[in-house]
Chain A
Amino acid sequence: MTAAPGTLRELRDALDGGRVSSVELVDSALSKAEASQSSLNAFIRLQPERARKEAAEADARRRRGELRSPLDGLPLAIKDNMVQTGEPATCASRILEGFVSPYTATAVTRLEQAGAIVVGRTNMDEFAMGSSTEHSVAGATRNPWRTERTPGGSSGGSAAAVAAGIVPGALGSDTGGSIRQPASFCGVVGLKPTYGRVSRWGLVAFASSLDQIGAFARSAADCAWLLEVIAGHDPMDSTSIPEPVPHYADALDGDVSGLVLGLPNEYFVAEGVDPAVLSAVREAVAELERAGAKVREVSLPHTSYAIATYYLIATAEASSNLARYDGVRYGYRAPPPHGLTDMYCRTRSQGFGVEVKRRIVLGTYVLSAGYYDAYYRKAQQVRTLLRRDFEQALRGCDVIVTPTCPEVAFPLGEKTDDPLTMYLSDVYTVSANLVGLPALSVPAGFSNGLPIGLQLVGGALEEGALLRVADALQRRTDHHVIRPELA
């Protein structure tokens, strides 16, 4: 099979065939990134010197025949909430102004060890709190398909950078859909692995029981490569799963015969779903049926409670995690302080943006005396019921299939003044985080020229099954080959 243009595989083939060098690939990624900043604003920071030096080293390894992995010498981007030694990490927040990391996130270390080259750090909603990449101190990122639209969020910079062909792959993080929703809006593949499949060491914490690092790429096959590199147990993260990492890419042969796809009725009858999204998902399911998959209806009866459950748990965890930004150990400190408490208050009030403050206040409220049981504990109990829903549904099927989002990319500014409406755009994605299961968004069509994503959810550590279905779909469709004019 010929690799699709702009994929990791195609670039790797070009390197192997001597048609291009790693230095040329990195130069090309950097110049595309620079040229696109005024129209897309996908990056918070580029690191040209480091990237060019690493590319020269990768070319030297290639000449010596000492390649480290299939990713060796390929340019990638990482979200600005993963730390790398010697580089800033702002999380798109003023409060991390001036921070330079003294260590590297495990997922990024694994990319480095594989020889991949980080060319830049991508834009995001501040501390990953948002669904549109508009809540950023660096300004909004724009959707390469139509620049007055959002790329989704919070990993909007990573999704836009891959969709625009700046880099063939990128890392993001997903707490309630922050990889899958932007992947859907930008027409790329986005994978949120099982909770604990990828170490969270060096990922700036938002909601620790929900956060997970994952990958963006144009193809499921490329995502398989990226996952294989970044996955695995890490002694620095005791929630990382101590199970061996399969060779995900080797198992992608396009065969889905006999595989049972479960369609949860609750996701297809919900109010406010764009009919074009539903018909694209149904058409993709029909295509997979023609490829031999079986389709069955399943039920996830607590679906309508997922958003409320998610926003209680995520904000509670965030209010606790973000207590560390106090102007003492790193980042911004408000001048000049009048005593310690004043310093804390003014540093945090000036350093955090409005959405982060709103979530800290909500999270503190639901954890406070008198409200804990009614809100936080109640949400944790509903979380148990959601888990049981998925356990039951996955007894009847191999992979659950839903739309990734109820709509295509919405206009910038449309939801920024209405937090609840913004939260509701995560209606199809938050459940996978609450129950810890792997989930992936794959392009399934277009509505008025804007991409539609199909979501796959599988059992714990069943990333291979998700990648197999997504790869089979991509072998039989060309949605992911069509590129925006900007690319």
Chain B
Amino acid sequence: MSRISREEVERVAALARLSLSDREADRFTADLDTILEYVETLRRVETDGIEPTSHPLPLATPTREDRAVAPMDPGLAVANAPEHEGSAFVVPKVIEGEEEG
């Protein structure tokens, strides 16, 4: 039995804001099935009561003096945007279903 359906691949892709071509959806379904089968080997490992590791080494939060420093110039910060106005990013209309303004 396959571990993941094509519908599920497309649903997850939509969550990640990806629209897959038919070919990609077919291919990813097969690839993910193979990969998920492989990672199921982890089920053999007894992990009851084992703390998860999210960071590899012990980490203390470093502190610094609370002093204001100059931020990046806003003009520079938006200079890479495909579209900007002044120091603001310009995006398509957020509320869908209305005509582009």
Contact surface of A with B, Cβ cutoff 8 Å: 98-100, 102-103, 194-196, 209-210, 233, 235, 238-239, 241-242, 302, 304-305, 307-309, 311-312, 319, 323, 326-333, 337-346, 348-349, 352, 354, 357-358, 360-362, 364-365, 368, 375, 377-385, 387, 419-420, 423, 433-437, 460
- The chain B residue sitting closest to A377, CB to CB, is B52
Query: Which chain A positions have C-beta within 8 A of B15?
Result: 364, 368
Chain B residues with Cβ below 8 Å from A379 are: 39, 42
A358 cross-chain contacts in B, Cβ below 8 A: 28, 31-32
Known contacts being A305-B45, A312-B39, A435-B56, is A361 close to B18, with CB within 8 Å? yes
Q: List 30 A-B contacts (CB under 8 A).
A: A304-B41, A305-B45, A308-B42, A311-B39, A312-B39, A328-B91, A329-B78, A331-B82, A339-B94, A340-B93, A341-B17, A341-B96, A342-B92, A343-B92, A346-B19, A348-B17, A354-B27, A357-B13, A361-B18, A362-B35, A364-B13, A365-B9, A378-B42, A381-B50, A382-B45, A385-B45, A419-B31, A420-B38, A423-B35, A434-B56
A308-B93 in contact given A378-B47, A419-B35 (Cβ < 8 Å): no
Q: Shortest Cβ distance from B20 into chain A, in angstroms?
A: 7
Complex: how many Å from CA A350 to CA B25? 15
Given A233-B62, A384-B52, A102 contacting B32 (CB threshold 8 A): no
The answer on a CB contact under 8 Å between A420 and B35 is yes
Q: Is the CB of B80 within 8 A of A382?
A: no
Task: Report the 10 A-B pairs with minimum CB-CB distance, sorted nearest first.
Answer: A436-B56, A380-B52, A330-B80, A333-B82, A381-B47, A308-B39, A383-B53, A344-B17, A364-B16, A381-B50
| Chain A hits for B81, CB < 8 A | 328-330
Q: Is the interface of B mostly helix, strand, loop or mixed?
A: loop
Interface members, chain B 1-56 (any A CB < 8 Å): 4, 8-9, 12-20, 24, 27-28, 31-32, 34-35, 38-39, 41-43, 45, 47, 50-56
Q: Is the CB of B56 within 8 A of A302?
A: no
Interface size on B, residues (CB 8 A): 54
B45 pairs with A361, CB closer than 8 A: no
Q: Which residues on the A side are within 8 Å of B93 (C-beta)? A: 339-340
Residues of chain A within 8 A of B61, CB atoms compared: 238
A207 and B31 alpha carbons, distance in the complex (Å): 21
**Using Cβ atoms and an 8 Å threshold, which residues of chain B touch A348?**
16-18
Q: Hey, which chain A residues are within 8 Å of B54, CB to CB?
A: 209, 380
Give the shortest distance, in Å, between B48 (CB) and chain A (any CB).
Answer: 9
State the CA gap A428–B69 with chains docked (Å). Answer: 44
**Nearest Cβ in chain B — how far from A336, in angstroms?**
9
Give CA–CA (A332, B57) in the complex, Å: 36
Q: How far is the CA of A437 from the CA of B92 in the complex (A)?
A: 45
Q: Within the assembled complex, what's the spacing in Å between the Cα atoms of A233 and B61? A: 12
- Bound-complex Cα distance A377 to B79 (A): 40
Residues of B within 8 A of A341 (CB): 17, 96
CA of A437 to CA of B57, assembled, Å:
9
State the CA gap A362–B82 with chains docked (Å).
29
CA of A483 to CA of B55, assembled, Å: 39
Whole-angstrom CA separation of A341 from B84 in the bound complex? 18
Complex: chain A residue closest to B44, CB-CB: A305
- Among B31, B59, B80, B100, which residue has its beta carbon within 8 angstroms of that of A100? B80
- Please tell me if the beta carbons of A381 and B32 are within 8 angstroms of each other in the complex: no
Interface centre among B42, B50, B55 (most CB of A within 10 A): B42
Chain A hits for B34, CB < 8 A: 419-420
Q: Which residue of B lies closest to A100 (CB)?
A: B80
Residues from chain B with Cβ under 8 Å of A194 in the complex: 57
Q: Is B68 in contact with chain A by the CB < 8 A criterion? A: no
Residues in A neighbouring B43, C-beta threshold 8 A = 378
**Interchain CA distance A344-B96 in the complex, whole Å:** 13
The interface residues of chain B lying within 8 Å CB-to-CB of A437 are 56
- Which chain B positions have C-beta within 8 A of A241? 57
Residues in A whose Cβ lies below 8 Å from that of B50: 381, 384-385
A339, B39: Cβ atoms closer than 8 Å: no
Determine how close the nearest CB of chain B comes to the CB of A118; give it in whole angstroms.
Answer: 20
Contact (A382, B47) CB under 8 Å given A328-B89, A377-B52: yes
B16 touches A326 (CB 8 A): no
- In contact, A340 and B19 (Cβ under 8 angstroms): no
Note all chain B residues with C-beta closer than 8 A to A196: 57, 59
A341-B17, A354-B27, A357-B20 known; 8 other A-B pairs, CB under 8 Å? Answer: A196-B57, A196-B59, A311-B35, A331-B82, A338-B100, A360-B16, A365-B4, A383-B52
A459 and B56 alpha carbons, distance in the complex (Å): 12
Contact flag A102-B80 (CB < 8 Å), given A239-B59, A357-B24: yes
Q: Complex formed: what's the CA distance from A209 to B97 in Å?
A: 40
